[in-house]
Structure 1
Amino acid sequence: MLEVSALRWMLTIGLILGLLALDLGLAAARPHVVKFREAAISSILYIAVAIVFGLVFAMQVGWDYGAEYFAGYIVEKSLSIDNLFVFVIIMSTFAVPEKYQQKVLIFGIALALVMRAIFIALGAALLQLFSFMFLIFGLILIVTAVQLYRHRNADPDVQDNVLVRVARRTLTVTKDYEGGRMFTRIAGRRAVTPLFIVLLAIGSTDLLFALDSIPAIFGITAEPYIVFTANAFALLGLRALYFLVKGLLDRLVYLSTGLALILAFIGVKLVLHWGHGLDGRVPEISTNTSLIVIAVILTVTTTASLIKVRRDPTARAHAGSLTAEKPSNPGPTG
């Protein structure tokens, strides 16, 4: 069991909030279209910070815990990229002007961090109280993986989002973005702008990804501190990463397949861990093995995606869906 002092928690949370405030504060203070160079530098810096943190953490508490952090970080970063894919779909569906996209991302990332912190606390408490929760989490991930693989060539229908539909039925929505505001007035009546509807879609997406990502990270480690830091550092810099990769996401035609395999693998790992607690003869999957398997899956799917697109330039990636597949745009898919 990893012993984490109150001081370490305070310093870590302070570091993460400071980096988050810096990233999102600068974006809010100076709304602008983010260019490739700016996005690349910011993304590299935040990934470097996450790596340095992991190395310092491993040197302080041991490389076993360090391996858990890096495995968790890779899993959460992979899921975050799929989250970005859905963000791109939402921005495109609602035709969000580029100058307002940073504002949407600020809201989405901050909300994602809050939701994951809540689910981390809840998940940790459940695992401490009930050992069978490892089985439940494992089965959830396996079912999610199967659904994601079945509908890997679909995109989520953000227009069919429950919150979006309710808001459109019950609220007055303006046609224009009204200078990036969320609320305005029409003929003396309070109304919401399309930006408010976009934020509802982003928020519900964050909730779904939090529900998937927390069981996934607990499949790597049961240490709340590692779960929190891996999630937090995976989310930091997501704003810049969005602008860096949004033009490249269409090339990752096997991304959904890779994520489905990773979720299934972690689900099996959780089920075996639960079984090992009942009978020591049931094998367990080590953290180092998990790290290798996850890295291999990501490497193979990324390489295969690039080869596929090179051979067939019309191939387009999809974010994947957990619900019944809707017909997508014609054209070859991965």
Structure 2
Amino acid sequence: MTVPALVWGGTLALIAGLLLFDFFFHVRSAHTPSLTEAAVWSAAYITVAVAFGFAVWGFGGSDMGLEYFAGYITEKALSVDNLFVFLIIMTTFRVPSAAQQKVLLAGIVFSLVLRTGFIFVGATLINRFAWVFYLFGAALLLTAGNMLRPEGEDSHAGDNIVLRLARRFLRTSDTYDGDKLFTTVDGRRHMTPMVLAMVAIGGTDVLFALDSIPAIFGLTQNVFIVFTATAFSLLGLRQLFFLLEGLLDRLIYLGFGLAAVLALIGVKLVLHALHENNVPFINHGEPVPVTEISTGLSLALIVLILVVTIVASLLSPAGRAQTAVGNARRHATRYLDLGYEADQSLRERTYHKMLGEEKTIAGLPAKYRRHIREGETELVTLLDRAHIVHADRVTRTEAGLPLRM
């Protein structure tokens, strides 16, 4: 179905308006969103995306509607997986909590521009070369296999070639200056480390796009559906980050679920490629009579896989332990970064959050406590340092002495 230019224009205006609204009403004034704020605006953006999907269903028919929702849910699930990497980047670069919104929004805008380019390139290739479906299917199956391999945080550190080049050629300061991108050091203008954090997120998104774009083309070849499902999955990602930040470590089986989803779409792509086959060395260049996976069945299986893996993660004691460890590490790191957070009340709240996670760890089954004690020596050292610094701060405050920075 050909989408009129007027509809394209209205959709682009809606997306641009939402991004501008996000910047002027949330990001421009640096602050750390509360859980309530993050939840309300995450729900609002999801509501807009769902309403848009029903509009597509109403004006474009049930097939387009199913394709949109299948693409949106898949892209949204993959974007949640991306949040793990964003969280690691924020921790690695010690981005101040109040400045993280600006970094995330910049990453989302960069991602949307990049993926739009990939979408039109992918659509052009598909229209000209039917065998591209074989490549997309093989890429997704390979990605699904790689996601099943055990990996540590270092594999997602965001230290890509783009970031290495940026570090080499960009003149950056060693410390942040609020949420500013530029600061003055010894009379010379420097970029702040926040620029490097934005570059890291943008660079890693190149890898994300190589997975997500073939995945959605496996569900629909309608460029309008591909673009809008991708765009609306990215909108609201900033709010979702702050909403799920404390729960991301708990989704320990999400990677398996996403691997299953990508494998499913990979198989769907290969079956479609066989059905449309014109490759000479496969069935003498003739289409292969195979049964294809319908969009409705794909959508049902994708939802089922994601629900099962998320519920299993939330009920898992191992996920609870991993969440407590991850949150304790982040809270302790933030508390010790005294030079980056000047708000004393925020420091105290962060310290008490750390105490809460320590209490959670203490209440875990013995085998998990033993594993943390023996395998998380860096975390134990980090927590001890935070307690020492806090005790020193309390002593100096009670004695009326200046605090050490």
Taking structure 1 as the reference length, the TM-score comes to: 0.90
Distance (Å, rounded) in 2 between the aligned partners of 1:159 and 1:306: 27
User: Which residue of structure 2 lines up, in the alignment, with residue 288 of structure 1?
Assistant: 296
| Whole-angstrom distance in 2 between the partners of 1:157 and 1:303 | 24
Aligned residue type for 1:286 = S
Aligned pairs (5 A) from 1:1-334: 2-151=1-150, 154=153, 156-158=155-157, 160-278=159-277, 279-309=287-317, 313-316=320-323, 330=375
Q: Deviations over 1:284-329 (max 9, x none)?
A: 11001100110111011001101213x66323599xxxxxxxxxx9
1:84 Cα deviation from its structure 2 partner: 1.4
Distance 2:132 2:185 in 1: 50
The answer to whether the 8 A contact 1:183-1:191 is kept is: yes
Over 3 Å counting, the alpha-carbon distance change for 1:265 and 1:194 in structure 2 is same
Deviations 1:206-244 (A, max 9, x none): 211112110000000000000011011111111111111
Larger Rg: 2
Structure 1 residues 288-297 or 180-189, which shifts more? 180-189
Q: Secondary structure at the match of 1:156?
A: helix
CA distance in 1, matches of 2:316, 2:134: 37
Gap change, CA 1:256 and 1:312, over 3 Å in 2: closer
- The Cα offsets for residues 108-154 of structure 1, whole Å up to 9 and x where unpaired, read as 11111111111111111110010001111111111111111113565
What runs of 5+ residues in structure 2 fail to find an aligned partner? 278-286, 327-373, 377-405
- 8 Å Cα contact 1:308-1:315 kept in structure 2: no
**Distance change in 2, residues 1:193/1:143 (3 Å):** same
Paired position in structure 1 for 2:352? none
What SS is found at the alignment partner of 1:178?
coil
| Unaligned ranges ≥5, structure 1 | 319-328
Counterpart secondary structure, 2:155: coil
Deviates more, 1:292-301 or 1:142-151: 142-151
Pairwise CA distance, 1:155: 5.2
**Contact 2:148/2:255 (<8 A) preserved:** yes
Kept after mapping to 2: 8 A contact 1:159/1:165? no
Contact 2:173/2:190 (<8 A) preserved = yes
Contact 1:124 1:222 in 2 (8 A): yes
Separation (CA, whole Å) in 2 of partners of 1:217 and 1:101: 29
1:169: Cα distance to partner?
Answer: 3.4
Between the two structures, name the one with larger relative contact order (CA 8 Å, sep ≥ 6).
Answer: 1
Q: Which amino acid in the other structure matches residue 311 of structure 2?
A: T
Taking structure 1 as reference, are residues 154 and 260 closer, same or farther at Cα in structure 2, changes over 3 Å only?
farther
